[in-house]
Structure 1
Amino acid sequence: MKFKAALLHVIVIVSTVLGGLGSARAESLQIVGFGDSLMAGYQLPQTESYTAQLEAALKAKGIDVTITNAGVSGDTTSAGLARLDWSIPDGTQGVILELGANDALRGISPDQTEKNLDAMLARLKERNIPVVLAGMLAPPNLGKDYQDRFNSIYPRLSQKYGVPLYPFFLDGVVTQANLQLEDGMHPNAKGIAVMVERSLPTIESFIKSLPAHR
């Protein structure tokens, strides 16, 4: 009987410890990086993707966060809108929204791009999920009129929904061949590191503003 009592005591202790570890994991901030190939990490190991490198950078600063990669290569804003709800599960505490690059590459009307992004922001607001918006700039070959209409989308939506804006997701990478893959469009692992370094202050500020972080 003494042995059984001692065994039961050990089981209770182990269960308590494991339960505590489970609670600690549950306290990790749950963030989703929602976007296209720039978020997904096109042709890169998942450990080198934007979400993975960003998570590591935030943890190095003492921020306990888990960033799920919900990037899909080739996604336009229309495709993103169609999969928004099932790609961002309940319990998500923040979203990095990065879409629009493929719209510009395909010459999709900026009005349609804005309509789709607006609908995504409205839906996430309805679900009480905070968002930081990652902006994009239109390629210069599309002409000044298209550029002006497209480039103004992100600041306007940021103001409309009161969400923080990181103005250009590819800042520091877009004109640097050594930071890009051979296609001249997608960042390599070093390029992703630059993107993380430059966007980190905005993302860190966003995460620290989250209700779950306080």
Structure 2
Amino acid sequence: MEFLFRVVLRYGAVLLLVNAIIGDAMAAPVRILALGDSLTAGFGLKAEEAFPARLEAALRAEGRDVRVINAGVSGDTTAGGLARLGWALAEKPDLAIVELGANDGLRGLDPQLMRANLDAILKRLKQDRIGVLLAGMLAPANYGPAYQAEFKTAFARLASDHDVVFYPFFLDGIAGDARLNLADGLHPAAKGVDVIVQRILPSVRTLLDRRARPEKKP
């Protein structure tokens, strides 16, 4: 009888430990990696005014337990984002927002090369089972309509090919509006970031809901 009592106590302790571990894992915030360029990094802004910080604040205000990781690097092209992806994934994200391409467009880089870089990024994220929101970008008008069309189409096709959440234009609602941008006319001011966050929020909610939805059995 004493032996049985000890066994029960031992297994009871093990179960309590397992439940504690599972509980901690379930309580951990959803980690969203914001992989981007200066538009994500928050060029010219305070850290708390940058897109990742403002998005996290908006989601937490809705009662969502999330942490948005700022993996934006000013000046980065899609090639730069791809080169440092492994380093960024050391943050062990659950989800990712990919905002790259603006500098490819500003430099007039080949849209096919940009597409190949983004394709490689999305493949790696899929391999690691990380849900993705792909944010599109538009090319400057000075490169002509053919370049603009190829550039814009690349994002939509990638989103379709990889079946990821797609937000067509990251700067929607603020591009060209001097009141919402810094003096350079290229980077959002704090008010501009808030507009971006409010417009992209429905797509981010979709991303979060996709993660919460149980996978269908084959």
TM-score normalised per structure 2: 0.85
Measure how far apart 1:205 and its partner are: 1.5
1:124-203 equivalences in 2 (<5 Å): 124-203=125-204
Q: What corresponds to 2:13 in structure 1?
A: none
The equivalences for 1:47-58 within 5 A come to 47-58=48-59
User: Which residue identity is paired with 1:177?
Assistant: A
Q: Which runs of 5+ in 2 are unaligned?
A: 1-16
Three-state SS of the structure 2 residue aligned to 1:195 is helix
SS in 1 for 2:84: helix
The separation in 2 between residues aligned to 1:179 and 1:66, in whole angstroms, is 26
Could you tell me how far 1:211 is from its partner in structure 2?
Answer: 4.0
Answer whether contact 1:29 1:213 (CA < 8 A) is retained: no
Letter of the 1:192 partner, please give it: V
Query: Could you say if the C-alpha distance between residues 213 and 94 of structure 1 is closer, same or farther in structure 2, counting changes exceeding 3 Å?
Result: farther
User: CA separation of 1:213/1:59 partners in 2, compared to 1, >3 Å: closer, same or farther?
Assistant: farther
Q: Which runs of 5+ in 1 are unaligned?
A: 1-15
8 Å contact from structure 2 (residues 38, 76) kept in 1: yes
Aligned pair 1:34/2:35, yes or no? yes
Opposite residue 111 of structure 2, the aligned amino acid is P
Give the partner amino acid of 2:151.
F
CA distance in 2, matches of 1:210, 1:80: 24
Could you say what secondary structure the match of 2:123 adopts? helix
For 2:89, the equivalent position in structure 1 comes to 88
Aligned to 2:109: 108
Query: What is the letter of the counterpart of residue 47 of structure 1?
Result: E
> What is the aligned partner in structure 1 of residue 208 from structure 2?
207
TM-score computed with the length of structure 1 as normaliser = 0.87
Kept in 1, the 8 Å contact 2:165–2:206? The answer is no
CA contact (8 A) 2:136 2:170 kept: yes
* Cα-Cα RMSD: 2.0
**1:11 corresponds to which residue?**
none
Percent of residue pairs identical:
48
For each residue in 1:32-69, what CA deviation from the matched residue of structure 2 results, as whole angstroms up to 9, or x when unmatched?
10000000000101100000000000011111100010
Shift of 1:123: 0.9
Report how far residue 142 of structure 1 moved.
Answer: 1.0
Q: Cα offset for 1:24?
A: 7.5
Instruction: Mark the CA change 1:58 to 1:72 in structure 2 (over 3 Å): closer, same or farther.
Output: same
Partners of 1:211 and 1:90 in 2: CA distance: 20
SS in 2 for 1:88: helix
Cα distance change on mapping 1:25 and 1:46 into 2, 3 Å = farther
Residue 106 of structure 1 aligns with an amino acid whose one-letter code is R
User: For residues 168 and 83 of structure 2, what CA distance do their matches in structure 1 show?
Assistant: 24
Q: Counterparts of 1:99 and 1:171 in 2: how far apart (Å)?
A: 15
Alignment of 1:62-77 (within 5 A): 62-77=63-78
Larger CA deviation: 24-33 vs 164-173? 24-33
1:157-208 superposed Cα distances (whole Å, 9 cap, x missing partner): 0000000100000001111101000101000000000000100111112112
Further displaced range: 24-33 or 171-180: 24-33
CA shift, 1:91, in A, is 2.9
